[in-house]
Structure 1
């Protein structure tokens, strides 16, 4: 077993997409561990607190009229003229990787164990050592067309500080309404429509003393984590799918084990979208988007060894904790295959919790029948009395429902 380090830099991240054709940033073997740095793509909401004097973050976010360190941001076109910028923001998350796994082949399952997660402290002056994150109530949020106060509509950024001196929690520092921002290439962004746009704080009005007396318990986790799909060379990081991705479940934190079906040789694992805290549904569009460093262990389960195990027949992401198993249902289990050539943009027109709930039900029913050898009638009874279904997210186009079965229901005295 080897332990690897994968820091953030323009050479070790890819922005806004999963890909089976990007050169791996790291190659390791089953059983190896890796410490992987991740950055939030919302860091420029407060450059001073989340980027300034941090060499890794500065190198990734560097963007002047003469030089854009990471040009492509999204799975969209890379040849102009652009509406928003290279990649067009068809996918937004900063992902570290890909990490290739030696010997991984389609049909195998990759187990990713999250051993530890630590916040990335600010390196700037009086903020040094403190940790910050941004929450954007954004145009893709569930709330956006249901506001009751003026101005309507509006996007609001809330900056949080993460206190890690004891039991970690987050407390709001200030917020501001998004105003049109002009990026270094001269493109005006009237809304939050392209990742990493620098916010000129001379154009916004900070509102302080917000959320007084409120502490949000921290739930450090990775919102986006998974493998490269096989259907396209560049796949937007926004909609989750059968190889994982932007699942946005706060339970995917320290101690969790995620299982992903391998779709391409090498598996090509990537991780990002780090969160300090999030509730089920991620209703406003984002969590507390922060930068985190994770310690991971990778275990490759070969297809020939899956029979008779909980991984038999696995075609979707699966979460295991000490207490429970969870499956993830989506509007479309594999939207890339089901919606045709324009799937990556078309999926936003089909968001449905009804379909996601049915997908989660079917996946958990299969799990109970295959792994625990229940009949269909037994499985349905147990699902009704012993399983929990919840709304994972309603903001990632391919909406999600998680179905959870507690392990202690199988322990009979």
Structure 2
């Protein structure tokens, strides 16, 4: 495998010494992080290699081989102010790197909640410090969201909050193609503060956009609470523990803007204004399920699209199954696909009820395989117009309140979506997609598909906090017999 590294603003070939350092640091951080954790598979084979059949017995293709048996390249993208888009996907953004089908890319991702405790999640980390830098004169990354640059709350208006590393341009990708993304590995980003050596940290914000907000028992009935979690970055412990929590207090950012609520990403929290409660969730162990909450390609409908509501090209799906060993398939909507990833999570439950997961910076290694439109007819990927997830054991389809809210809601869609979502609509969309999946890939008639959905498909609430709410449909591969041709 030929290896290259992408550094901020440019790309350089990796020397033998650099390669050793990069891989050594990555694997030292990873170690056995996922050794005993709940992971979403580990099989190397993928749906795209199966031709017409979608049978378990056909799972034999290797994820290590490049299509056509050509040489592969490996790129490394560090997270920095020059390599991220904060809060949006864009079809016209300058790519961080351009790759060929079959290539690997190791990508650093930062949680946008790092400033909830900068001592633990930013201090001493050059990449994080460049992204979160903010003094009275400038921000390291000024635009945060797809909104107006002159928004009073801050440039970008917070209309999109996730730090998305990328975009990655896949050479030859065109609208109508399918991009297969294999998640080869996931590692925690250790704290760079010597006081917290060997540890990673994540933040959970029970925030104003959470499903629970305004439906609380104790006073104040509307409050936002941040809980800090600790993760063992050495791999010796496969669970997270709460360190402390605090109630959000009005924060004044370095530009002098007061934030009474968590209303803009990356606000530096002045810890002298909060009261830490350190005896919380005592003896509770939260199983680690590291995954990427936001992952996908750029949509075609607008030049700049908020990172918050998910859509047909992926985005903020917030499904904890999108971790190591998983494969995703995205319909390509623009030239080069323009892949980005962010919103890393150490763990999350279905629904992400309070508004966030354990928001924890991670590094992932991905392999990209392009399936051209002309090759799709007669294969399971034909007619795929939504993000499809494959794990070792399951196929997972994602339904949303609006399958493509940008097209369905028209002008103002990025603002109006938040008042229109419902679980009912998302369930209906998941039903439609699963029916189509079963009828086309398994050759069932409609009556067979509907019966099977009721007795063998698990429909679950993916999230109810991202504007375009999600319901996922999970079906086991093992229920299907081997099929020929």
TM range (shorter): over 0.9
The equivalent of 2:67 in structure 1 is none
**Counterpart-to-counterpart distance in 2, 1:53 and 1:383:** 51
Greater mean deviation of Cα atoms: 271-280 or 305-314: 305-314
CA deviation profile, 1:220-278 (whole Å, cap 9, x unmatched): 00000000000001100000000000000000000000000000000000000000000
The equivalent of 1:201 in structure 2 is 271
The equivalent of 1:25 in structure 2 is 96
> Does the 8 Å contact 2:204/2:226 carry over to 1?
yes
**Counterpart-to-counterpart distance in 2, 1:85 and 1:67:** 11
The equivalent of 2:204 in structure 1 is 135
The equivalent of 2:461 in structure 1 is 391
Q: Out of 43, 52, 59, which is 2:130 matched to?
A: 59
Structure 1 residue 67: Cα displacement? 1.9
> Does the 8 Å contact 2:249/2:260 carry over to 1?
yes
Matched, 1:284 2:354: yes
> Does the 8 Å contact 2:198/2:232 carry over to 1?
no
CA deviation profile, 1:175-219 (whole Å, cap 9, x unmatched): 000000001111100000000000000000000010011000000
Matched, 1:214 2:278: no
- Give the match's secondary structure for 2:273: coil
> Does the 8 Å contact 1:273/1:289 carry over to 2?
yes
CA deviation profile, 1:55-94 (whole Å, cap 9, x unmatched): 110011001111211000000001x2x3210000000000
CA deviation profile, 1:123-158 (whole Å, cap 9, x unmatched): 112112210000000000000010001112100000
**Counterpart-to-counterpart distance in 2, 1:167 and 1:408:** 31
- Give the match's secondary structure for 1:154: coil
**Counterpart-to-counterpart distance in 1, 2:390 and 2:106:** 21
Q: Out of 76, 95, 104, which is 1:5 matched to?
A: 76
Q: Out of 111, 117, 121, which is 1:46 matched to?
A: 117
Q: Out of 153, 160, 169, which is 2:239 matched to?
A: 169
The equivalent of 1:354 in structure 2 is 424
**Counterpart-to-counterpart distance in 2, 1:182 and 1:122:** 25
Structure 1 residue 306: Cα displacement? 1.1
- Tell me the TM-score normalized by structure 1: 0.98
The equivalent of 1:89 in structure 2 is 158
> Does the 8 Å contact 1:223/1:247 carry over to 2?
yes
- Give the match's secondary structure for 1:364: helix
Matched, 1:242 2:303: no
> Does the 8 Å contact 1:135/1:286 carry over to 2?
yes
**Residues 412 and 106 from structure 1, CA distance in 2 versus in 1: closer, same or farther, beyond 3 angstroms?**
closer
The within-5 A match list for 1:95-110 is 95-110=164-179
The equivalent of 1:322 in structure 2 is 392
**Counterpart-to-counterpart distance in 2, 1:255 and 1:303:** 25
**Counterpart-to-counterpart distance in 1, 2:112 and 2:419:** 25
The equivalent of 2:445 in structure 1 is 375
Structure 1 residue 166: Cα displacement? 3.0
> Does the 8 Å contact 2:159/2:306 carry over to 1?
yes
Q: Which runs of 5+ in 1 are unaligned?
A: none
CA RMSD of aligned residues (A): 1.0
CA deviation profile, 1:309-365 (whole Å, cap 9, x unmatched): 221100000000110111100000000001111000100011100000000000010
The equivalent of 1:335 in structure 2 is 405
Structure 1 residue 412: Cα displacement? 6.9
> Does the 8 Å contact 1:308/1:371 carry over to 2?
no
CA deviation profile, 1:362-405 (whole Å, cap 9, x unmatched): 00100011111110111111111111100000000100000111
> Does the 8 Å contact 1:154/1:178 carry over to 2?
yes
- Give the match's secondary structure for 2:282: coil
CA deviation profile, 1:9-41 (whole Å, cap 9, x unmatched): 111001000000110011100000010000000
**Counterpart-to-counterpart distance in 2, 1:324 and 1:404:** 6
- Give the match's secondary structure for 1:328: strand
Q: Which runs of 5+ in 2 are unaligned?
A: 1-71
The equivalent of 1:34 in structure 2 is 105
The equivalent of 1:257 in structure 2 is 327
The within-5 A match list for 1:288-307 is 288-307=358-377
- Give the match's secondary structure for 1:300: strand
Report the count of equivalent residues.
411
